[in-house]
């Protein structure tokens, strides 16, 4: 959690041009923890960070840490108060200072449905962080779904790769994300992709960050993947 590699990744998030250009937009952290990757998005200028975390103690740590930084947090405990417990726009009701972070204390399997319910009150989601090791695979489809459908954005997927197979494994991840993108697009726009459609221009690996050594011969990597709007028609 507090390794030098993770500190470097926090700094990278804050310096990332696409994040700094997202002022007025939102980011989603699907594994928010105590805020170690969520906070850099807000510090870089993202207006609202929406997070998911199943550990209540971690959520409390995030709330306290945000307070020390002068940020407001709305914690949503489904069925247990906190406002907007059904996950609709009610989660964003209240004063502006309460909207720096909205944190749902629940499994992120509910994230896509809840974000969809908040779309009209939530700034466009341009960045999604999925920081679970050894793999964030279980959240890839959720990440595609929570991005703003009209604008697209970036997924930042944390994965463990063998140090000699980073490029190969990264391409495998991108291939699966392309498949997911096609599925989501078909649901939203009707119909599947045309035979021979080139999806390379709508799901694109932009960078692989080697964060730290996780174990002998194993690297913790972050894949920055551009996702086009799900209404985009790939080139035939």
Specify the CATH number for the domain of residue 223.
Answer: 3.40.50.150
- Residue ranges with strand state E in 132-236: 153-162, 203-215, 218-227
* pLDDT, position 68: 97
- CA-to-CA distance for 123 and 111, rounded, in angstroms? 16
Using 50, 70 and 90 to split pLDDT, how confident is the model at 196?
A: very low
Is 233 a domain residue? no
User: Between β-strands 153-162 and 73-76, what pairing exists: parallel, antiparallel or unpaired?
Assistant: unpaired
* pLDDT, position 84: 40
Is the peptide bond preceding residue 178 cis, with omega within 30 degrees of 0?
no
How long, in residues, is the chain?
Answer: 236
**Residue-number span of the structural domain to which 58 is assigned:** 4-227
Is 234 a domain residue? no
pLDDT tens digits, one per residue of 25-67: 999 999 999 999 999 999 999 999 999 999 999 999 999 999 9
Is 8 a domain residue? yes
Q: Taking Cα atoms as reference points, which of 102, 95, 135, 133 lies closest to residue 117?
A: 102
Count of domains observed in the chain: 1
Is 232 a domain residue? no
Is 116 a domain residue? yes
* pLDDT, position 189: 84
Is 182 a domain residue? yes
Is 138 a domain residue? yes
Looking at the predicted structure, is the pLDDT value of residue 83 above 50?
no
Sheet of strand 125-130: strand arrangement: 73-76, 101-104, 48-52, 26-29, 125-130, 153-162, 218-227, 203-215
Is 236 a domain residue? no
CB under 8 Å to 119, separation ≥6 — which residues? none
């Amino acid at each position: 959690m507090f390794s030098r590699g993770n500190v470097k990744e926090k700094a990278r998030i804050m310096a990332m041009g696409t994040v700094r250009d997202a002022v007025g937009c939102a980011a989603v952290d699907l594994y928010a923890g105590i805020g170690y990757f969520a906070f850099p998005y807000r510090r870089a200028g993202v207006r609202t960070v929406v997070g998911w975390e199943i550990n209540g103690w971690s959520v409390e740590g995030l709330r306290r840490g945000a307070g020390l930084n002068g940020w407001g947090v709305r914690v949503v405990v489904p069925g247990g108060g906190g406002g907007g417990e059904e996950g609709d726009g009610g989660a964003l009701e209240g004063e502006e200072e309460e909207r720096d972070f909205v944190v749902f204390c629940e499994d992120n399997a509910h994230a896509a449905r809840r974000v969809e319910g908040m779309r009209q009150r939530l700034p466009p989601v341009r960045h999604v962080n999925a920081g679970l090791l050894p793999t964030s695979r279980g959240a890839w489809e959720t990440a595609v779904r929570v991005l703003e459908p009209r604008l697209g954005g970036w997924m930042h997927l944390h994965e463990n790769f063998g140090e000699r197979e980073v490029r190969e494994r990264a391409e495998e991840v991108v291939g699966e994300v392309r498949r997911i993108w096609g599925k989501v697009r078909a649901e939203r726009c009707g119909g599947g992709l045309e035979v021979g459609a080139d999806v390379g221009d709508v799901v694109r690996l932009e960078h692989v960050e080697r964060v730290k050594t996780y174990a002998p011969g194993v690297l913790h990597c972050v894949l920055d993947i551009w996702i086009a709007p799900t209404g985009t028609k790939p080139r035939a």
